[in-house]
Structure 1
Amino acid sequence: MKLTRPALLLLFLWLVLLAGLTWFVQRQLQVGTDLRLFLPSPTTPEQRLLLEEIGEGPASRVMVISLEGAEPEQLADASRTLVENLQSSPNFRLVTNGDISLDSVPDELLAYRYLLSPTLDERPLDQKYLHSELQERARDLASPAGAFLEPWLPRDPTLELLKVLQRWQPMQEPNRLFDVWFDQEGKRALLLAQTRAAAFDPDQQRLAVEQLNAEAERLKGDDVTLTFSGAGKFSVMMEERTRGEATALGTAATVGMIILLLIAYRRIGSVILSALPLASAGLAGLAAVSALFGTVHGITLAFGFTLIGVAQDYPIHLLSHRHATRSPVEAARELWPTLATGVASTCIAYVTFLFSGVIGLAQLACFTVAGLAVAGLTTRFALPVLMDPEGRDFGESAWLGKVWQRMERLPRPRWAGVAAIALSIAAMVFAPQPMWESDLSKLTPVPKELLIQDQELRSELGTPDVRYLLVITAADTEYALQKLEELDEPLQKMVADGAISGYDHAARYVPTAEKQRQRQARLPEPATLRDDVDAAVKDTPFRPDVFEPFLADVEKARHLRLLTVDQLRDSPLGVSVEMLLTQHGDGNDKTAARTTALVTFSGVQDVSALERFAKAAGSGVTLLDTKNASETLVTNQRIKILWSLAVAAVLLAGVVTFALRRASRVYRVLAPMALTTLLIIGILQAAGVSMTLFHLIALILAAGLGLDYALFFEHAADDPMEQRRTLHALLVCSASTLMVFALLAMSSLPVLRALGLTVSIGVVSNFVLALLLTRPTPPPHGT
């Protein structure tokens, strides 16, 4: 490193600029974990609904909790205590264990029980009905339930509120012991909790997870084991696991890179110099994403920094090509056409992702293009000024000269390329697994045993089958509720026929305004009701004046404003409605207001019956197969990316053709990259690996590396000294890249493992093929 005044001034300004970029990034950048950023924009209402439910829908906020390890009665008591503790927490919106509590209903909703209960649809609230109900209450008071019911009888002698609460219970309810939910064996108490934060908000979800962990520690003292599962827990786990592995692998890669560079260049100054363009690339990429997007996905950062790893090759080439007869500035000038071609080609390949329709890929393109451009420009114009012209000239290495000569004499049979192509195509054609992986669940880093546990708990709780949903699109909430009420009878028939075990929809919780109005009109006048009560209490143990609160509630109900979804949504009892009924827009913008209502199913036994039911339900009703919808999204995404890659390939070939001008040179540079891409796909297929979005991104990275290797091998002149310098640079580049991505290939995270494995194969193949194909075939020995 130079210690002259201009060099030190440049170094100072460079470091100040890096510090300024760091400050800007720290202030602006927010890291997200929402996987929907790597899915294309939805094109249908069903796909839009799917993405909303995956990331922010109420169903994605549900945690399932189990308590075990003690006697059932003790577990029931622990369940009630847990509900009390969590219900008062700001991290949870609802916690329930199935315990029906009349006290849980807010006072403002009590009088609505006559509009919500179906009693008035079947019989009038008259003397005959009241008399039979009072006789039932007299028998109830003599039973063990008497203490529970006695405080409510003056206000609700017909137990309408209890009927409403029972109606709000799941149609397929879990096993119940001591009035709370248990599994079928009666060994685990079960609870459902809904967090306030969305599933892909790991910071807020972490608070909920920490509180549940604290409750688990508290319960250990009572020999009760608490376990919980859900998208929120998985989101926190994914974020922690990704950060942990990225830190560990990044540390190992950094240490390995430093050791490799010290071995290769024998000077700590060379390590520092090579780090400057790399740091500039990373911060420039972060700053560009921060300025344009604000929020960047963690996967974008992970991919971005590995892609920026390509930039480490730029200073390595410069360090390996310096020698005493040529200043670093002159060396950079001579290398620049080849280096610029590589930078431009790689950037063009990623620019196409800006138009893929996938926000995560657009972020990745922005990060990579900005980073690689800055790395290339700083290597060309800033780094040479800081380099000491003195240093080891690798062109003088006799060992490198022998290695080059032996590599030049390696056999280059044409049949080998044809055989590689044939074998790759055969692997793709005859592989037993599908070529493309469309199942999003296969990309999750959550251990399989935890996913099985989650499914088991949800099955015990009787939660809906998340695969099939009936989607009703309506202009407003009232029309949606009307449609749901029309479908209720056919749905009950499907339960009776065994096609489904149960169903749920919003009209079970909030009747239509018309139905509420009809029930309200059937409520008797005050004088009539009083006379009926006086007559009904005869030959019962009750006095007429006991039921004054009942008379007051009925009169209040006669003049209530009809109950709306919004009123119920704002109460703890409205969570189920929120999960089943969603309002979009308010009509004030370009998007018209609409309502989406869902019918969820449990125990789906006959999918064809569901399909026939949905078809007969008329317009605005669609059966959504979430698995099929997600796979369609992934397929659409893949098609867009493949088109992006096709455009990138054409542009890349155009850039190389423009730079090299001769068809033979263009062929020698592009052939290794194309053949390597085919080999990678063939090897993955032969190994039983289906390709994902992340494999495609890795293929682009491998292609960029291959292009660099081929360009510099092709650039190596007939001068033996220059050949040795080129060989040294490419050996260091390929060794460092292989080390980094081999570490990633050992990751337990599917995303990082796909990236590491793909690029590791590509590095080896690209180096060998670039060496064999980019240099003209040497004449026979001795000629």
Structure 2
Amino acid sequence: MKINVKFGALIWAIFVIVICLFAGTKQTAVDTSIMALLPKYEQKPLVHELQEQQTAEYANHVFIMVSANNKQSARTAISNISSQLGALAGVADLTTLVSSASTQTNALYPYRFALLSEPVAKKLQKKDYDSPFRSALSKLLSPMGAGKTDPVQDPFFLYSDMLLGQTMNVQVKIEEGLLRLTNVEKPSYLLVLELHKNPFDLPTQDQVMPVLQSIKQQMSKQGVSVSYSGLLLHAAKGAEQAKFEISTIGLGSILGIIIIIILVFRRIVTLLQILLPVMVGCLVAVAVTSLWFERVHLITIAFGAGLVGVAVDYSMHFVCESYLHTGTTVVRKLFSGLLLGLVSSVLAYGGLALTPFPGLQQIAVFSATGLIAAWLSVLLFLPLITTKNTLQNKENYLPAALLLNRCKETFPKLDQFPKVASLFIIAIATTSLSLFFWATPQDSVRLLQTSPPSLLKEDQLVQQALGNSVNSAFLIVSGNSAEAMLENEELFRLQLDALIQNGTLEGYQAVSQSIPSLQRQRQNIDLVKQLYQAKLDSYAQVIGLSAQQKAIANNYVQENPPTLSLERWSTLAISAQWPGVFTPHSTGEYASIIRLKGHLSEDVIKQLQAAAATDHNVDYVDQIANISATLARYRIKVADWLFIAYGIITVLLFFRYRLNVWRVMLPPIAGSIIALACTVFINGGYNIFNLVALMLVFGIGLDMGIFLQESRGSAYTWLAVSLSTLTSLLAFGLLALSQTPVLYHFGIIVLPGLLLIWLLSPFMQTSQLETQ
């Protein structure tokens, strides 16, 4: 037997070394995005492609707003900041200077008859020619409009009206080659930093963030305000927080375990015996997870740090029993309990792998492989290194074991008080039903927000200065061709204009406001011809145009005025607001995004959804609402899996413990229900991550009940159970202090759940064990 154990230990040691070396050769990226934890919700391929494109446009840019009390100070600060950001060459590109405004705007002048402003076009459609007539006379007498003011080439100042009506994506103007923000009281300028890599890339964060922080501190001393907006800031903050919590949770758990083991066993050798399987389990878990997934999330590692508290359970039981028996005898005595504990825990953790959440799947793989590796290490390594424990301590119980056993024996047994037992079960059933019918589910993705309020406020400040809406909803308009897409968008805009007229929608931004369809441009030219026919004579007479000048003016509109082609429009600065809009997508369709402004009421959302539902060329998309709906859908699936897991494990354990199965099952079930009730009371509801945590509570609680039943109330088993509970509380209970929402929602369940199971377990025990 000893030879077989030695051979198995050798094979297992070789396997661990090989898989760790193999994993070390693979460069696995570390992910810090909270959204990477979430499942991909179902949507049309075109919608998904557009959404990814829109996210990428924002994700890889950092917007820098520089504000000062006077214009010169702001421009000087821009120069200094630009030189410092130059150090990021190769990591990010900086945009400060732009081409001359006049060159870009004058390029639209030949198309002044085709690109009418919406107010003018609507008046001409109603044959209201007097309003443009009076407006032109007013501008001629007091020219305040933008652009050219030639009464012969453009007598009704249509170009001036068109420029004023152009909807810009950001509220900026070009001032002496810099981007000047017009929506801010103090002189403010805009810089744009474009990252070469994903903002969640840790090396990129490490290179860019120190420079940005240094700039802000330096400029603050000079009285210049620097504000940032971009996904990089939120990703870096989340990564910093996750790294801190990995070190505090993991280090806190390990230190707690070390102190407890030394105080109880008073031997360094015992500490090494207990921690060896834990360390092997963690190494194998990291290696397998790195090989299995292309990217490993930091939260997986942070959560995996809590694996220490579970894996140490097996070591504790083995080492405690080794004080009474030799290694091979301990294996024979504990094998059934260890196997049942492993199977039940892996089933509980394995349930996470069935969810569509990439982050939870990683945690499932990490936890399951880590537990299996720790279990094998206990069976193969510990029999060889715990032989001296028995020789030195066979006749004496550890003081801690005796003390804890005396405390346990003072607990009354529930089966001695059938009425109390019945009331307890009724109370648990009532609590379960109350939670089922009245507890409020919390499925909003905003619960996962990790950024501090100060960072969110700064981001919002910059976005408001840019004139961008913080709305997560938008509309996608598609067509079989670029022209068809523009026509579809113009048609749907009529419904949006009606909402604006009613005061229920603040506004929107659409590409067809910048470049109308060719059909609309030709209609505009016809409208202008009618205006000239109706009012040019009167206008020429009022301002004193000669017959020759009037004929020249009329010829400009009658001799086939040009329309603006997509190719020409794409060369203009204004097209930068709509990147890729006229590039066909993988589906062969063309699609544009209509950005909605302002807060959307429930009534407006319903109207937009109804309008989009009746038009197969239009899709209403709300990213936050869609993700929240996905969370709700999978919360229900996880709840179903919990009930199935409880049922399956109860049936499996029934074949082992028969009518005593309730002694194993009741503590974890009761602890889970009461923990969930506490969470609902504290947070006002529950979410999917609370339910996933219940799987962990159930798995650890099962281990406790199984070992207590298998050992027939052994003092050393109760010591091992108590130590395992305490180390698990240190590992998982610390998560309740986490500032990362996902980890907090795990910890707030695990902390009271495990404590309750430990307190309830002695009540369920009996001196008689009926097994077959």
Give ranges in structure 2 of 5+ residues lacking alignment.
125-131, 530-539, 550-558
1:660-700 Cα shifts (integer Å, max 9, x gaps) = 1x322322111111111111111212223532232222211
Q: What is the aligned partner in structure 1 of residue 447 from structure 2?
A: 442
Q: What residue is the counterpart of 1:781 in the other structure?
A: none
| 8 A Cα contact 1:230 1:454, kept in partner | yes
Aligned letter for 1:228? Y
Q: 1:697 aligns with which of 692, 698, 716?
A: 692
Match in the other structure for 2:533: none
Query: How far apart are residue 276 of structure 1 and its match?
Result: 2.5
Q: Which residue number in structure 1 is paired with residue 128 of structure 2?
A: none
Give how far 1:309 is off. 3.3
Counterpart for residue 551 of structure 1: none
The residue that corresponds to 1:290 in the other structure is 290
Distance 1:433 1:450 in 2: 36
Cα drift, residue 643 of structure 1: 2.5
**266-275 vs 416-425, greater mean Cα deviation:** 416-425
CA gap of 1:137–1:206, structure 2 versus 1, over 3 A, is farther
Q: Distance in 1 between matches of 2:660 and 2:255?
A: 38
**Which amino acid in structure 2 is aligned with residue 484 of structure 1?**
E
CA RMSD of aligned residues (A): 5.2
Whole-Å separation in 2 of the counterparts to 1:734 and 1:575: 59
| Aligned-pair CA distance for 1:379 | 1.0
| Equivalence map 1:382-781=2 (5 Å) | 382-390=381-389, 393=393, 396-397=396-397, 399=399, 400-401=401-402, 403-411=404-412, 412=414, 413=417, 415=420, 418-419=423-424, 422=427, 425=430, 429=434, 435-512=440-517, 514=519, 562-563=566-567, 567=570, 573-578=574-579, 581=581, 585-586=585-586, 592-604=587-599, 607-609=602-604, 611-612=606-607, 615-616=610-611, 618-620=614-616, 621-658=618-655, 660=656, 662-717=657-712, 723-776=714-767
> Residues of 2 paired with 1:14 and 1:236: CA distance?
38
- Return closer, same or farther for 1:539/1:220 CA change in 2, 3 Å cut-off: farther
CA distance in 2: counterparts of 1:752 and 1:610, whole angstroms:
33
TM-aligned CA distance change 1:335 to 1:360, over 3 Å: same
Specify the SS of the correspondent of 2:471: strand
Q: Percent identity?
A: 20
2:359 corresponds to: 360
Q: Look up the equivalent residue of 1:234 and give its one-letter code.
A: H
Q: What is the CA-CA distance between 1:219 and the residue it aligns to? A: 3.0
The AA in structure 1 aligned to 2:353 is L
Aligned residue type for 1:730? V
CA drift at 1:725? 1.5
In structure 1, how many angstroms separate the alpha carbons of the residues matched to 2:114 and 2:433? 60
**Residue 370 (structure 2) aligns with:** 371
Change (3 A) 1:193 1:421: farther
Q: Could you say if the C-alpha distance between residues 11 and 55 of structure 1 is closer, same or farther in structure 2, counting changes exceeding 3 Å?
A: farther
Question: Counterpart amino acid of 2:695?
Answer: I
Structure 1 contact 202–232 (Cα < 8 Å) conserved: no
Alpha-carbon contact 1:60-1:198 (below 8 Å) kept: yes
Larger mean CA deviation between 629-638 and 286-295 belongs to: 286-295
Q: Secondary structure in 1 aligned to 2:443?
A: coil
Change (3 A) 1:157 1:253: farther
Q: CA deviation at 1:338?
A: 0.4
1:35 equivalent to 2:34? Answer yes
Deviations 1:267-300 (A, max 9, x none): 2222223222222222222232233322122222
CA offsets 1:553-578 (integer angstroms, 9 cap, x no match): xx9x969974289x56xx87545314
SS at match of 2:595: strand
Tell me, in whole angstroms, the C-alpha distance in 1 between the residues paired with 2:318 and 2:680.
38
Q: 1:191-224 CA deviation, whole Å, 9 max, x = no partner?
A: 4747445554555456554443344345346420
Partner residue, 2:319 = 319
| In 1: Cα distance, 2:53 partner to 2:745 partner | 23
SS at structure 1 position matched to 2:306: helix
Output aligned runs, 1:329-348, within 5 Å: 329-348=328-347
| Counterparts of 1:112 and 1:56, CA distance in 2 | 35
Q: Is the CA contact 1:40–1:359 (under 8 Å) kept in the aligned structure 2?
A: yes
Q: Secondary structure at the match of 1:748?
A: coil
Which segments of 5 or more consecutive residues in structure 1 lack a partner in the other structure?
124-128, 525-534, 545-554, 587-591, 779-783
| Contact 1:116/1:164 (8 A) holds in 2 | no
Shift of 1:466: 1.1
SS in 1 for 2:670: helix
Change in Cα spacing, 1:610 to 1:56, as seen in structure 2 (3 Å) is closer
Deviates more, 1:161-170 or 1:432-441: 161-170
Task: Determine if contact 1:702/1:762 at 8 Å carries over to the other structure.
Answer: yes
Deviations 1:425-458 (A, max 9, x none): 5598499995322122222222234324433543
Q: Is the alpha carbon distance of 1:430 and 1:674 closer, same or farther for their aligned partners in structure 2, counting shifts above 3 Å?
A: closer
Does the Cα contact within 8 Å between 1:481 and 1:512 map onto a contact in 2?
A: yes
Change (3 A) 1:630 1:596: farther
Q: How does 1:87-486 map to 2 (within 5 A)?
A: 101-102=100-101, 105=104, 117-118=115-116, 168-170=166-168, 173=171, 180-181=180-181, 186-187=185-186, 189=188, 191=190, 193=192, 195-196=194-195, 197-198=197-198, 200-201=200-201, 203-204=203-204, 207-220=207-220, 222-307=222-307, 309-323=309-323, 326-390=325-389, 393=393, 396-397=396-397, 399=399, 400-401=401-402, 403-411=404-412, 412=414, 413=417, 415=420, 418-419=423-424, 422=427, 425=430, 429=434, 435-486=440-491
Return the alpha-carbon distance in structure 2 between the equivalents of residues 403 and 95 of structure 1: 68
2: CA distance, partners of 1:772 / 1:91: 62
Question: Is the 2:114–2:563 contact (alpha carbons within 8 Å) kept by the matching residues of 1?
Answer: no
Using the alignment, how far apart are the partners of 1:423 and 1:21 within structure 2?
Answer: 46
Q: Secondary structure at the match of 1:41?
A: coil
Deviation at 1:110, TM superposition (A): 7.6
SS of the residue 2:567 aligns to: coil
1:629-663 Cα offsets, whole Å, 9 max, x none, are: 232111012122223323322332243234x1x32
| TM value normalised by structure 1 | 0.77
Tell me: CA distance 1:457–1:282, structure 2 relative to 1, closer, same or farther (3 Å): same
SS class of match (2:701): helix
Aligned mates of 1:112, 1:363 — CA distance in 2? 59
Residues in 2 aligned to 1:432 and 1:654: alpha-carbon distance in whole angstroms: 27
**Structure-2 change in CA distance of 1:523 and 1:496 (3 Å):** closer
Aligned equivalent of 1:548: none
SS at match of 1:170: coil
Residue matched to 1:126? none
Instruction: Work out whether residues 676 and 762 of structure 1, in 8 Å CA contact, stay in contact via their aligned partners in 2.
Output: yes
Give how far 1:501 is off: 2.4
Once the two structures are overlaid, the 10-residue window that deviates more, 592-601 or 237-246, is 592-601
Output the CA distance in 1 between the equivalents of 2:369 and 2:481. Answer: 46
Q: Which amino acid aligns with 2:269?
A: G
Deviations 1:50-94 (A, max 9, x none): 994599343455655444453366346646886898799666678
Whether the aligned pair in 1 keeps the contact of 2:481 and 2:589 (CA below 8 Å) is: yes
- Measured after TM superposition, the shift of residue 234 of structure 1 is 1.0
Secondary structure class of the residue paired with 1:466? coil
Matched residue of 1:27: which SS?
coil
Give the length in aligned residue pairs: 724
TM-aligned CA distance change 1:559 to 1:466, over 3 Å: closer
CA distance in 2, matches of 1:18, 1:161: 74
Say if 1:291 and 1:460 are closer, same or farther in 2 by CA, change over 3 A: same
